[in-house]
Structure 1
Amino acid sequence: MPTRETLRLHAGLVDDMASMLDINLEEAAIGGLVSVDQISEAVLRCTDCPNPQHCQAMLSQAATAQRAPEYCRNQELLHKLMP
C-alpha cells in the first residue's frame, strides 16, 4: 500500500495533469462524468508509474496540452473527460 505522502504526490499529479488538459475533476465528479472511486483508482494507477519525476517536470513546463503523455497510466480516463 502506498504511503500517505506517495498518495498526496500522485493525487496532485493526477489533478495537475487533468488541469493541463482543461479538465476540472471536481466539476466532472459533480456532473456525474466520473465517480470519486474512479478518481481514487486513477491516483492508485498513477502510483504505479515508474517515473513520476518526468511527469512533474513536464507539468512544471507546460500550461496546456492536447493529450496526456503516452506513458500516462490514466491516459484513457483523461481523454474521455476532455472537453
Structure 2
Amino acid sequence: MSYDSKREAHTQLVLGMADRQGLDLQEMVLRAEISEEQFELAVDRCMGCTQPDACKCLLDSAGPALELPEYCRNGDMFGALKPK
C-alpha cells in the first residue's frame, strides 16, 4: 500500500470514528473550530495505530453510535470536541 493510499484509509477511519461520536471534523475545519493541523495530527495518530483493521470492522458493523475502543489514539481529542 502506498503512503498516499494508507493516509487516505486512515483519514477515512478518523472521519468515520468522529462521525460515530457525533462530530463532523470536515465541517469543524471549515468553521475553524479545529485547525487543519489538528485534523492532520489526528490522521497521523491513527496511522501510528496497530489496529486499523479492528477499527474498520467496528465501523462496518456498528450502528450510528459507537463507543470508541480503548486503544483509539484520538479518543482524547474526540472527547474534548464533543458537545457538552
- Greater mean deviation of Cα atoms: 37-46 or 23-32: 23-32
TM-score by length of 2: 0.87
TM-score by length of 1: 0.88
Pairing 1:48–2:48 present: yes
The residue type paired with residue 71 of structure 1 is Y
How many matched pairs? Answer: 82
Unmatched tracts of structure 2, length 5 or more: none
| Fraction of identical pairs, as percent | 33
Which position in structure 1 is the counterpart of 2:3?
3
In the alignment, the residues of structure 1 paired with residue 33 and residue 68 of structure 2 have an alpha-carbon distance, to the nearest angstrom, of 18
The alpha-carbon distance between structure 1 residues 80 and 67, as it changes in their structure 2 partners (threshold 3 A), is farther
In the alignment, the residues of structure 1 paired with residue 15 and residue 60 of structure 2 have an alpha-carbon distance, to the nearest angstrom, of 13
In the alignment, the residues of structure 1 paired with residue 68 and residue 28 of structure 2 have an alpha-carbon distance, to the nearest angstrom, of 17
The residue type paired with residue 33 of structure 1 is E
